[in-house]
């Protein structure tokens, strides 16, 4: 199987360049940004986290 046929390789190719970057967006109610990191123990797992403003109404509802 080559990288073109491997979904994990495709995901790594798409998300890899975003590691360490602040990607704008993720919430319609505030100036949120997203971060991406690869799981240290499960290399095929990725974490995409949305960081909301402290004043975001959606964020306050989740707390």
Q: Are 58 and 30 in contact (CB under 8 A)?
A: yes
Model pLDDT, residue 43: 82
pLDDT, tens digit, 9 for 90 and up, residues 1-42: 566 689 989 999 999 999 999 999 999 999 999 999 999 999
Of how many residues is the chain composed? Answer: 63
Model pLDDT, residue 60: 87
Model pLDDT, residue 3: 61
Answer whether residue 44 shows pLDDT above 60: yes
Q: Domain segments of the chain: what residues? A: 7-62
Q: Which is more confident, 19 or 59?
A: 19
Model pLDDT, residue 56: 95
CB-based contacts of 2-8 (< 8 A; 24+ apart in sequence): 8/44
């Amino acid at each position: 199987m080559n990288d073109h046929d491997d979904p994990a390789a495709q995901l790594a190719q798409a998300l890899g360049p975003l590691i360490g970057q602040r990607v704008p967006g993720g919430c319609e109610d505030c100036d949120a940004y997203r971060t991406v990191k690869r799981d240290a123990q499960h290399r095929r797992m990725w974490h995409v986290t949305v960081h909301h403003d402290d004043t975001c109404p959606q964020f306050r509802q989740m707390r």
